[in-house]
Amino acid sequence: MTEPRKTVRLKPKAEARAIRHGFPWVYADELVTDRRTQALEPGALCVLEDGERRPLGLVTVNTKSKIIARVLDRDPEAVIDQAWFEARLARALDMRARLFDQPFYRLVHAEADGLPGVVIDRFGDAAVIQPNAAWAETHVEALAAALRAVTGVSTVIKNGTGRSRALEGLAEETVVMAGGVDAPIPVLMNGATYMADLMGGQKTGLFYDQRPNHAFAARLAQGAAVLDVFTHVGGFALAALAGGAASALAVDASASALGLAAEGAKAGGVAERFSTRQGDAFEVLEALGTEGARFYLVICDPPAFAPSKPALEAGLRAYERIARLAAPLVAPGGYLVLCSCSHAADLSSFRNACGRGIGRGGRRGQLIHTGFAGPDHPLLPQLAESGYLKSLVFRLD
């Protein structure tokens, strides 16, 4: 006989309505954390009840995390096995297969795809799983088996690195779970070729989220000189060259990332118009200003300067500084693209910081476009954090 599931309960003043309406998280101060709850293993599956002991659904609990419970299923009796994962993955795959001609995309975008804390990026016959929550780490074998069954990929890599895992109390490790790769994988996007290092690259090896913003910027780059700061493996620069840019200078602190960007430029047949400059982005921007360099299109796509609320003010100052240093490098009538992937910085705050920076840089501009992540990074309406990416395009006078 199956032992009944353990239960956890919201505090009387906690808002159960939000959970019923689709909010996927319970914070530590909203849950009754008695000794029985504190004794639960990280990632334990429990039935969540409201203050009147009415079931709300099946959750995973980690008392070491500020997000103490994550909703897995509205059915409190749901069985989390390979078949359950297959159903979630099949639903996610159906949308991506309709949107993309080639199997290069984000297959699972965490809570928005019904798999809290799980990211899966697909690279043709290979896929990279990031199990960023304790429950996902516990069930990663079933998840990987379901991934192979649904998509047919032969290589599955677990990338267990990053800030999110540390917040869940998880160790860092990268493991080949099936198959293997012995070289970077070429990925075609927006006419450009990117080289994705699935084993040693940043995150899963490539950032798919900027795909539509790369395409928009490339339309502005025809015949122009382009500066791409925080380029990673070529980012905006390679898309701009594929779109007809006269030249592109790619800046990054990582020599290995710039090496992959150069490989992508060669593979895409644009190497003669592509150059790189390694160094701290702020220092390079200052140096370019001193040198009197000018570009028709300047893009700055930094890492998250405000990954959490305590870092928000410092992060906004950093975004303002980037805008201040970048604006003078834009030729009159040219364009400045400023991006943020910070969860804590909402669109309004980021836009205001950019506007202040452009003004402090001695320029004025029109905001002509606001971009977000592509449709393979769906937004869960109840969870603002799932819509993290912002891309602002200014025309400067």
> Can you spell out the DSSP letters for 34-95?
-HHHHTSPTTEEEEEE-TTS-EEEEEEE-TTSSEEEEEEES-TT---SHHHHHHHHHHHHHH
Beta carbons of 202 and 365 less than 8 angstroms apart: no
| Phi/psi-derived region of residue 82, left when phi > 0, alpha when psi is between -120 and 50, beta in every other case | alpha
Rg (CA), the chain: 22
Beta carbons of 52 and 10 less than 8 angstroms apart: no
DSSP 304: -
Beta carbons of 396 and 338 less than 8 angstroms apart: no
DSSP 157: E
Could you list the active site residues? 341
**Rounded Cα gap, residues 157 and 180, in angstroms:** 8
List all residues 6 or more positions away from 244 whose beta carbon is below 8 Å from its beta carbon.
218, 221, 222, 223
**Rounded Cα gap, residues 207 and 106, in angstroms:** 9
**Rounded Cα gap, residues 69 and 133, in angstroms:** 10
CA diameter of the chain: 77
Q: On the CB side of 45, how many CA atoms lie within 13 Å of its CA?
A: 20
Nearest CA-CA partner of 336 in 289, 380, 287, 369? 369
The CA-atom distances, in angstroms, between 222 and each of 113, 134, 368 are 37, 47, 17
How is residue 209 written in tokens?
Answer: 């989220």
**Rounded Cα gap, residues 106 and 103, in angstroms:** 9
